[in-house]
Amino acid sequence: MCGRFSLSLDFADLLEYFQIAGSPPPFSPRYNVAPSQQVPAIRTEQGARRLVMLRWGLVPFWAEDPRIGYRMINARAETAHRLPAFRAAFRKRRCIIPAGGFFEWRRQGRQKLPFHIFRRDGRPLALAGLWESWRDEQQGREIESCTILTTAANRLLAELHERMPVILEPADLARWLDPEQSSPAPLATLLRPAREGVLDMYPVSDYVNKPQNEGARCIAPAEVSG
């Protein structure tokens, strides 16, 4: 799964790497992004890539209560194209969630030890996502929200968890964001575990375990006792 990530990337570098057009909303570096928070996402609008802010936890357009989003932070890549909550978004509303890294926990007895996972080449992670728009007719408000797709863990991540977020390679970005591509079959080929050697990880302190904690301490390598 993917329940927490970091986004401590340089804003200008992020815009250049993903070739984002227009005037995106500015955001500050984040080190402990949690569900229900606003997260930057990249989607295609009028033929160009735009950076927008979405609430993490997808609220289906047909939902009666937006709190359903708390259970929709992830969608399984193998089934998202056919489940009622995600299938319309899979065909028409795909996005990329940029990240510097993400967190996963390994059980050790009663403890859960956190790890920070990132690309070895220093590039941003392009997490495959879906977005949706939900309108509260009574209050006249609209919520745009997103979910992160997950797939089976590769060998590195299998040490921690059986699932991992789908990480798109640079050559995959255009096809994933192409609004003309709506057939699930060609898109499914992109939703695979990261190749071995692409990612690396290291343990961090349990400071990151609390979603309210922020700052560079969240991704600092844990002190190893001798």
Secondary structure class of 167 (helix, strand, coil): strand
Confirm whether 224 is domain-assigned: no
- Residue 122: name the closest of 221, 5, 14 by CA: 14
Query: Of 2, 95, 146, 218, which is the active-site residue?
Result: 2
Count of domains in the chain?
Answer: 1
Task: Quickly count: other Cβ atoms within 10 Å of residue 87's Cβ.
Answer: 17
- Residue 57: name the closest of 78, 33, 36, 76 by CA: 36
Confirm whether 225 is domain-assigned: no
Confirm whether 77 is domain-assigned: yes
The rounded average pLDDT for each run of 10 residues, N- to C-terminus, in the chain (226 residues) is: 91 92 87 96 95 97 92 97 96 97 92 95 96 86 96 96 97 96 93 96 96 96 68
Query: Of 95, 104, 144, 146, which is the active-site residue?
Result: 104
Confirm whether 183 is domain-assigned: yes
152 bridge partner residues: 163
pTM of the full predicted structure?
A: 0.95
The CATH number that applies at residue 107 is: 3.90.1680.10
Confirm whether 58 is domain-assigned: yes
Is 142 considered catalytic here? no
Confirm whether 93 is domain-assigned: yes
| Residue 26: both structure tokens together | 């500015």
Q: What pLDDT is attached to residue 24?
A: 85
Could you tell me where the beta strands, DSSP code E, fall in the chain? 5-7, 30-33, 38-45, 48-56, 74-76, 94-99, 101-108, 111-119, 125-136, 141-152, 163-165, 199-203
Q: What pLDDT is attached to residue 86?
A: 97
Is 159 considered catalytic here? no
Task: Residue 10: give the domain boundaries.
Answer: 5-219
Q: What pLDDT is attached to residue 137?
A: 76
Q: What pLDDT is attached to residue 140?
A: 77
Angle CA 122–209–196, to nearest 5? 35
Confirm whether 103 is domain-assigned: yes
Confirm whether 110 is domain-assigned: yes
